[in-house]
Amino acid sequence: MKLSHPALRSALASAWVLGTLRGPARRRFAAHLAADADLRRVVARWESFLTPLAESVPPVEPPARVWRAIEARIAPRPLPASASLWTSLAFWRWTGAGLATACVVLVSVMLGLRPTAPAPAPPVVAKPAAPAFVAVLSTPEQVARVIVEDGGAGALRLRVMQPWPAATENDLELWVLPKEGAPRSLGVVAGDRDGVVRPANLAGLLDGGVAFALSKEPRGGSPTGAPTGPVVCSGPIARARA
């Protein structure tokens, strides 16, 4: 695509604004735009001609979930780039891979078989006959790090398959991700040993949850109530019964 001739530039700009320039040609033109300030001016002129037409389109009420999703992503303080993982498609793709593993774990636990783990923590809570749900949290590289399971009586059991060294200036915070809306905190957890979390109203927090995630936060957990650090590992929740 040679963009030297003014007539060609104007023709392409008008096609880009109107919408007839599509696919690979559209992407190529967008790349040109990024580097060519004069081309941006030509495009701006065509936008000033044509785009006002859009004001005549009849409004359609969007569902409430759209605003909730927007609100979750705009923060009072700028979030690090990794926070966009929470809503990006890529995130859901690699957590989806953990579902198969989680189902295997769930079935084996329910059959009374135990998944291998390092020195098990002393039981803090009476074990249920079988957990109602389990999640295998894996890193982006698909390494399983933590198993989170129903611990009964308002508690979650965490089995740390591969412990992290005890950190000094960071804490790991556990989040439950609902199908729609912002992640909900389940509190700070230890990354160097198995443990139990017992947040207030666990059942309410887990309601509608589809995945767990661990993020790296400042000491004491996120100061904002939303994740501020990178996702360390995550995985979908496999429930024993729909």
Partner 1 sequence: MTDDAPDRLARLLALAARGDRDAFAALYRETGPKLFGVSLRIVRERHLAEEILQESFVAIWRRAGDYEPARGTPLTWMAAIVRNRSLDLARRGGREVPDEEGLHTAGLADETASPGADLERRTAAHGIAECLGELEADQRQSIALAFFHGLTHTELAAHLRRPLGTVKTHIRRGLARLRDCLARGGVTEA
Question: What residue ranges bind partner 1 (CB under 8 A)?
Answer: 11, 14, 18-20, 22, 26-27, 30, 41, 44-45, 47-63, 65-67, 69-71, 73-74, 76
Least distance (Å) from partner 1 to the CB of residue 9? 14
Two structure tokens written together for 47: 């936008």
Residue whose CB is less far from partner 1, 65 or 127: 65
Residue 181 CB, shortest distance to partner 1, in Å, is 12
* Pick 62 or 112: Cβ nearer partner 1: 62
DSSP label at residue 6: H
Between residues 61 and 141, which has the closer beta carbon with respect to partner 1? Answer: 61
Minimum distance, C-beta of residue 71 to partner 1, in the bound complex (Å): 8
Give the nearer residue to partner 1 in terms of CB position, either 179 or 241.
179
**Nearest CB to partner 1, comparing residues 70 and 90:** 70
> Contacts from 189-193 at CB under 8 Å and sequence distance 24+?
189/158, 189/214, 190/160, 190/166, 191/160, 191/163, 191/164, 191/166, 191/167, 192/160, 192/163, 192/164, 192/165, 192/166, 193/121, 193/160, 193/163
For residue 109, the minimal CB distance to partner 1 (Å) is: 35
**Nearest residue to 104 via CA among 238, 229, 236:** 238
CA distance 62 to 64: 7
3-state secondary structure of 69: helix
Residue 14 C-beta: closest distance to partner 1, Å: 5
